Structure 1
Amino acid sequence: MSESIDYINYSCYFTVFREGEQFVSYNALSMVISGEMELNDGVHRKIFRKGDVYLVRKNQLLKFLKKPGEEVGFKSLSIRFDDDLLKNKSAEEHFSLPERPKTPAFINVSEAKHLKYFMESLLQYQDLLENKSPELALLKQKEALILLFGHDPSLKNVLYDISDPYKIDLEGFMLKNYHFNVKLDRFAYLTGRSLATFKRDFEKIFGIAPRKWLLEKRLQEAYYLLEKGKKATDIYLDLGFEDLSHFSFVFKKQYGLPPSKLLL
Structure 2
Amino acid sequence: MQNTGKPKIGYSCHYTSSREGEQFVPEHVFSYQISGILTISDGQKQYKFNPGDYRFIRRNHLIKFNKQPPPNGEFKSVSVYLDQHTLLEFSMAYGFSTNGHFDGDAILNLNPQTLYKSFIESLTPYQQNDVQINTNLQNLKIRECILILLQSNPEIKDILFDFSEPGKIDLEGFMEKNFHFNVQLKRFAYLTGRSLATFKRDFKKIFNTTPSRWLQNRRLQEAYYLLKEKRKTASDVYLELGFEDLSHFSFAFKKRYGISPSKLFLLM
TM-score range relative to shorter protein: over 0.9
Cα gap change, 1:5 to 1:61, in 2 (>3 Å): closer
TM-score with structure 2 length normalisation? Answer: 0.92
1:92 matched to which residue of 2? 93
Q: Separation in 2 of the partners of 1:22 and 1:208?
A: 25
Q: Separation in 1 of the partners of 2:130 and 2:144?
A: 15
1:241 matched to which residue of 2? 243
Percent identity of paired positions between Structure 1 and Structure 2: 50
Opposite residue 226 of structure 1, the aligned amino acid is L
Q: Separation in 2 of the partners of 1:177 and 1:91?
A: 35
Opposite residue 256 of structure 1, the aligned amino acid is G
Deviations 1:57-80 (A, max 9, x none): 111101111111102111111111
1:259 matched to which residue of 2? 261
Q: 2:252 aligns with which of 245, 250, 253?
A: 250
1:108 matched to which residue of 2? 109
Q: Separation in 2 of the partners of 1:130 and 1:178?
A: 41
Give the total of aligned pairs.
261
TM-score with structure 1 length normalisation? Answer: 0.93
Cα gap change, 1:144 to 1:17, in 2 (>3 Å): same
Q: What is the CA-CA distance between 1:210 and the residue it aligns to?
A: 0.8
Q: Separation in 2 of the partners of 1:128 and 1:144?
A: 23
Cα gap change, 1:128 to 1:208, in 2 (>3 Å): closer
Q: What is the CA-CA distance between 1:127 and the residue it aligns to?
A: 4.8
C-alpha root-mean-square deviation of aligned residues, in Å?
1.9
CA contact (8 A) 1:5 1:129 kept: no
Question: Gaps (5+ residues) in structure 1?
Answer: none
Cα gap change, 1:127 to 1:261, in 2 (>3 Å): closer
Deviations 1:1-44 (A, max 9, x none): xxx98211011111221224421111111111111111100111
Q: Separation in 2 of the partners of 1:60 and 1:97?
A: 20
Opposite residue 81 of structure 2, the aligned amino acid is R
CA contact (8 A) 1:22 1:182 kept: yes
Question: Gaps (5+ residues) in structure 2?
Answer: none
SS at match of 1:19: strand
2:180 matched to which residue of 1? 179
Q: Separation in 2 of the partners of 1:79 and 1:12?
A: 15
Opposite residue 175 of structure 2, the aligned amino acid is M
SS at match of 2:79: strand
Structural mapping, 1:201-240, within 5 Å:
201-228=202-229, 229-240=231-242
Q: What is the CA-CA distance between 1:192 and the residue it aligns to?
A: 0.8
Q: Separation in 2 of the partners of 1:110 and 1:153?
A: 13
Q: What is the CA-CA distance between 1:213 and the residue it aligns to?
A: 0.7
Q: What is the CA-CA distance between 1:129 and the residue it aligns to?
A: 9.2
Q: Which piece of structure 1 moves more, 53-62 or 132-141? A: 132-141
2:124 matched to which residue of 1? 123
1:57 matched to which residue of 2? 58
Deviations 1:182-231 (A, max 9, x none): 01010001111111100000111111111111111111111001012111
2:143 matched to which residue of 1? 142
Q: What is the CA-CA distance between 1:122 and the residue it aligns to?
A: 1.2
